[in-house]
Amino acid sequence: GIMGQADFHRNDAVIGLGGGATTDLAGFVGATWLRGVRTILIPTTLLGMVDAAIGGKTGVNTQEGKNLVGVFHQPYKVFIDLDTLETLPRNELLAGMSELVKYGFISDPEILETVLNDDHSTDPSSDVFAELVTKAVAIKERITTEDFKESGQREILNYGHTLGHAIEHAERYKWRHGAAISIGMTFAAELSMLSGKLSDSDVE
């Protein structure tokens, strides 16, 4: 209704400025209004920058579960400004690191080495942090371009999300997404070890 009242046409654009939930909602609105208009996303959280705003996958939560309503709609542009993280609460930043670390596990072990060994890896003003975000965005962009509608390789991006989403649902979404995913990744690693597919040292 609001879009119609604002006389929103095909040559207009939806702009999503905020965290992952905001950019997801903006992407969903942009995808469904007039069957799709341009969407410009400006994520202001680390999780939004390295995950939610990249790849065109939008989702809206319902009481029955997470992201059950959604659509694939590639954004027209995504603008990432690390300066917006300077006012982000520390716990939000660290929660976002779980999605960044995920890319280390699924694609680039150098990300893990940097996070483990460089004290500047969680400092948004550092060059090290900027490089980590750049690597993460590049990995997600590559995977989602090759498999836009998640019919194959893109599923690897869900590492840690099976149990993670269950935790979020059970806790009525009071947990930060990144916190739940970090537990989900640990859980998946333990299962892999129990099934003989991962060594004790790799799990550690």
Active-site residues, by number, are: 35, 57, 99, 140, 150, 154, 158, 161, 165, 177
Nearest to 72 by CA among 12, 104, 32, 115: 32
Nearest to 29 by CA among 18, 13, 43, 45: 13
**Cβ-based neighbours of 195, under 8 Å, separated by 6 or more:** none
Where on the phi/psi map is residue 80: left (φ > 0), alpha (ψ -120 to 50), or beta? beta
